[in-house]
Amino acid sequence: MSVPDFSPLSNDLSGHIVSTRVVPRNDYSSLVPFYGDGAFFIFIKEERTMKERLQELKAEALTKVEQAEEIQDLKDVRVEYLGKKGPITEVLRGMGKLSKEERPVIGQLANDVREEIAQAIEKKQSGLEEAALEEQLEAESIDVTLPGRPVQVGGPHLLTSIVEEIENLFIGMGFEIKEGPEVETDYYNFEALNLPKGHPARDMQDSFYITEELLLRTHTSPVQARTMGMKNGNEPVKMICPGKVYRRDTDDATHSHQFTQIEGLLVDKHVRMSDLKGVLNTFAKQMFGEEREIRLRPSFFPFTEPSVEMDISCKVCGGEGCSVCKGTGWIEILGAGMVHPNVLEMAGYDPKEYSGFAFGMGPERIAMLKYGVDDIRNFYINDQRFLKQYHKA
Amino acid sequence: MLVSLNWLNDYIDVSDYKPEDLAEIITKTGIEVESVEPVAEAVTGVVVGHVVSCEQHPNADKLSLCQVDVGEGILQIICGAPNIAQGQKVAVATPGAVLPGNFKIKKTKLRGEVSNGMICSLQELGVDEKEVPKEYQDGIYVFPEDVNTGDDAISVLNLNDIIIELGLTPNRADCLSMAGVAYEVAAALDRDYQLAEERVERSNEDASEVVEVLVDDPQANPYYGAFILRDVTVGKSPLWMQNRLTAAGVRPINNVVDITNYVLLEYGQPLHAFDYDRFGSNKVVTRRAKDGEKIKTLDDQERTLTPDHLVITNGESAHAIAGVMGGADSEVQEDTTTILLEAAYFNPANVRQAAKDHGLRSEASTRFEKGVDPNRVERAGVRACELLQKYAGATVLEGVAKFDQLDRTEKAVEMNSNRINDRLGTTISNEEIQQILERLQFHYDHNDDDFTVYAPTRRGDVERFEDMLEEVARIYGYDNLPFTLPSGASQAGGLSLEQELKRGMKSYFEGVGLDETITYSLTSEQQAEMLVSEEVKQNAKSPVKLAMPMSEDHSHLRLSILPELLQSISYNIARKQHNVAYYEVGTVFLSEEEKVTKQPHEMLRAAGALTGEWMSHPWQQEKKEADFFVVKGIVEGLVQWLNIDVEFVKAKVDGMHPGRTALIKRNNENIGFLGQVHPKLQKEWGLKDTYVFDINAEKLIELYQKEEAFETIPRFPSVNRDIALVVDEEVPAGHIESTIYEAGAPLVKQVRVFDVYQGEHLQEGKKSLAYRLLYLDPERTLKDEEVEAAHEQILNAVKETHNAELRG
Tell me how far apart the alpha carbons of residues B445 and B464 are, in angstroms, rounded to a whole number.
16
Answer yes or no: do A382 and B582 touch at CB < 8 A. yes
Q: Which of A211, A326, A341 sits opposite B547 (nearest CB)?
A: A211
- Among partner residues B30, B509, B602, which is closest to A183 by beta-carbon distance? B602
CATH of domain B411-477: 3.30.56.10
What residues of B are in contact with residue A382 (Cβ under 8 Å)? 517-519, 568, 571-572, 582
Cα–Cα distance between A290 and B668 in angstroms, integer?
A: 55
Cβ B29–A298 below 8 Å, yes or no? Answer: yes
CA distances from B613 to B2, B37, B524, B636, B680 (A): 59, 56, 30, 20, 21
Average pLDDT, chain B: 93
Across residues B189-206, what is the average pLDDT?
93
Each residue's pLDDT tens digit, B729-786? 999 999 999 999 999 989 999 999 999 999 888 888 999 999 999 999 988 898 989 8
Closest-CA residue of chain A to B554: A257
B2-39+162-189, what's its fold? Phenylalanyl-tRNA Synthetase; Chain B, domain 1 (3.30.56)
* Interface membership of B522 toward A (CB under 8 Å): yes
| Domain at B44-156: CATH code | 2.40.50.140
Spell out where B551-697 has E strands: 556-557, 580-590, 601-611, 613-617, 622-625, 647-650, 656-666, 669-677, 690-696
Cβ distance of A380 and B518 shorter than 8 Å: yes
Residue A157, classed as helix, strand or coil, is coil
Q: Where are the domains of chain A?
A: 7-133, 158-389
Q: Residue A218 and residue A246: Cα distance in Å, rounded?
A: 5
Burial of residue A119 (number of CB atoms within 10 Å: 0-12, 13-18, 19+): exposed
Residue with the bigger pLDDT between A84 and B435: it is B435
Closest residue in A to B172 (Cα–Cα): A300
Choosing among 3.30.930.10, 3.40.1640.10, 3.40.50.1100, 1.10.287.610, the CATH entry for B497-703 is: 3.30.930.10
pLDDT at A49: 77
Dihedral of the CA atoms A46, A48, A53, A58 (nearest 10)? 140
User: Residue A200's pLDDT is what?
Assistant: 66
Residue numbers in chain A where pLDDT is lower than 70: 1-48, 200-201, 203-205, 393
Phi-psi region at B653: left, alpha or beta (left = phi > 0; alpha = psi -120 to 50) = beta
Write down the CATH superfamily of domain B202-404: Phenylalanyl-trna Synthetase, Chain B, domain 3 (3.50.40.10)
Percent of chain B with pLDDT over 90: 83
pLDDT tens profile B88-144? 999 999 999 999 888 899 998 888 889 999 999 999 998 888 888 888 989 999 999
Structure confidence at residue A201 (pLDDT): 65
pLDDT at A205: 56
Count the alpha carbons within 13 Å of A280 in the hemisphere toward its beta carbon. Answer: 32
For B243, counting Cβ atoms within 10 Å of its Cβ (0-12 exposed, 13-18 middle, 19+ buried), the class is buried
Q: Do domains B44-156 and B497-703 have the same CATH topology?
A: no
The pLDDT of residue A7:
40
Q: Which residue has the higher pLDDT, A109 or B559?
A: B559
pLDDT digits (tens, 9 = 90+) for B207-257: 999 999 999 999 999 999 999 999 999 999 998 999 999 999 899 999 999
Residue B594: is its pLDDT beyond 80?
Answer: yes
Half-sphere exposure of B125 (CA within 13 A, CB side): 35
Q: Which stretch of B516-525, B589-598, B669-678 has the lowest confidence by average pLDDT?
A: B589-598
Q: Where are the domains of chain B?
A: 2-39+162-189, 44-156, 202-404, 411-477, 497-703, 719-806
Q: Measured between CB atoms, does A316 come within 8 Å of chain B?
A: no
Per-residue pLDDT band at B727 (split at 50, 70, 90)? very high
In CATH terms, the fold of domain B719-806 is Alpha-Beta Plaits (3.30.70)
Model pLDDT, residue B176: 95
Residues A264 and A151: beta-carbon distance below 8 Å: no
Residues 541-560 of B with CB under 8 A from A: 544-550, 554, 557
CB pairs under 8 A between A and B: 249
The domain made up of A158-389 has a fold known as: BirA Bifunctional Protein; domain 2 (3.30.930)
Asked if the Cβ–Cβ distance from A298 to B426 is below 8 Å, we say: no
In sequence order, the 6+-apart residues with CB closer than 8 A to the CB of B398 are B202, B203, B204, B205, B206, B207
Closest A-chain CA to B514: A154
- B510, A175: Cβ pair inside 8 Å? no
Residues of B in contact with A188 (CB under 8 A): none
pLDDT digits (tens, 9 = 90+) for B360-404: 989 999 999 999 999 999 999 999 999 999 999 999 999 999 999
